[in-house]
């Protein structure tokens, strides 16, 4: 599954060499650190993460049964929701209390589970919008075209390079709303790269994408890592996760219950219990569906 030509299976494991497969374990070079992050909705505790670190330059998967709090944790870390308690930092800077746009400017850019293409803008405009630090984005600056024309040209060039990489360059003048679901996922990923992030957070990048495109999306994700970017992603498809992740974090009922390399997770009894229901092997227990509500 890994598209790196130079690394064999063993080399992928090396990225996390020497790290114990245990929940909340410290990483040698964490880009993102979160401690005691908690969020509840009414009486329900959706997220209660004791400690979590994400290693720089790796692909880390966040998995867990439905309702485990994966998306909520994503929203909290990226400033799209407020925590009740806890703190987290990115590249050593505290992110507590920062709004979503400020988190993105720090270099941590997210995508959404339900793709958010800006449908009545062209594909190229979708890309250009994301470029950071534009002079013409300010109300008064916008009126002075000579002041932003050159910057716009440079952004356009970079956008076209990214669109070519994601094979969307032929569609640049189409409305984003006319793209297929899979193409929108590609556009969203390309658009997030326009922000020049050091970490991308992908919320279910493969959801609703046809199998042929899944391969191409996987290739894009691994090449992001190979360029030095950190990727944290939420996904349900186990084949995908086991294939490309350097590290897997398992969330259940809002807490991290296990962490490790794909092999560690595959054989972890707690993870199997979380997915299938803790009592799935006891005779006379309720249907396996009970685990889904967790």
Which residue ranges make up the site for other proteins (CB under 8 A)? 78, 80, 99-102, 104-105, 109-112, 116-121, 125-126, 128-130, 132, 134-139, 141-143, 145, 148, 152, 175, 177-178, 191-192, 194-195
Q: Where are the alpha helices (DSSP H) in the chain?
A: 9-14, 70-77, 100-106, 123-130, 145-165, 181-194, 211-226, 238-244, 262-266, 269-276
| Minimum distance from residue 110 beta carbon to other proteins (Å) | 5
Identify the DSSP state of 97: T
Distance, CA of 188 to CA of 246 (rounded, Å): 23
Nearer to other proteins, 36 or 132 (CB): 132
| Minimum distance from residue 92 beta carbon to other proteins (Å) | 19
Q: Decide if 98 contacts 79 (C-beta within 8 A).
A: yes
| Minimum distance from residue 6 beta carbon to other proteins (Å) | 33
| Minimum distance from residue 163 beta carbon to other proteins (Å) | 16
Nearer to other proteins, 91 or 226 (CB): 91
Distance, CA of 281 to CA of 161 (rounded, Å): 53
Nearer to other proteins, 231 or 248 (CB): 231
Q: Exposure of 230 by Cβ count < 10 A (0-12 exposed, 13-18 middle, 19+ buried)?
A: buried
Nearer to other proteins, 118 or 238 (CB): 118
Nearer to other proteins, 28 or 99 (CB): 99
Q: Decide if 84 contacts 272 (C-beta within 8 A).
A: no
């Amino acid at each position: 599954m890994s598209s790196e030509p130079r690394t064999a299976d063993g080399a992928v494991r090396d990225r996390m060499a020497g790290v114990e497969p245990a929940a909340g374990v410290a990483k040698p070079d964490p880009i993102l650190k979160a401690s005691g992050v908690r969020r509840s909705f009414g009486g329900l505790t959706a997220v209660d993460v004791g400690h979590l670190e994400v290693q720089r330059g790796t692909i880390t998967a966040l998995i867990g049964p439905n309702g485990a709090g994966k998306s909520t944790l994503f929203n909290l870390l990226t400033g799209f929701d407020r925590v009740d308690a806890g703190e987290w930092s990115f590249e050593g800077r505290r992110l507590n209390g920062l709004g979503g746009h400020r988190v993105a400017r720090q270099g941590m850019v997210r995508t959404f589970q339900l793709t958010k293409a800006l449908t009545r803008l062209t594909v190229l405009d979708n890309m250009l919008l994301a470029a950071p630090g534009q002079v013409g984005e300010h109300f008064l600056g916008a009126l002075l075209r000579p002041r932003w024309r050159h910057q716009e040209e440079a952004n356009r060039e970079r956008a076209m390079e990214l669109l070519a990489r994601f094979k969307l360059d032929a569609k640049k003048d189409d409305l984003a709303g006319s793209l297929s679901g899979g193409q929108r996922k590609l556009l969203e990923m390309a658009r997030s790269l326009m922000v020049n992030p050091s970490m991308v957070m992908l919320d279910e990048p493969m959801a609703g994408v046809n199998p042929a495109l899944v391969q191409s999306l996987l290739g894009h994700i691994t090449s992001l890592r190979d360029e030095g970017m950190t990727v944290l992603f939420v996904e349900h498809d186990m084949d995908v996760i086991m294939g490309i992740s350097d590290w897997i974090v398992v969330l259940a009922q809002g807490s991290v219950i296990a962490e490790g390399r794909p092999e560690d997770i595959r054989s972890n009894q707690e993870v199997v219990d979380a997915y299938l229901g803790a009592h799935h092997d006891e005779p006379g227990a309720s249907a396996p569906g009970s685990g889904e509500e967790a």
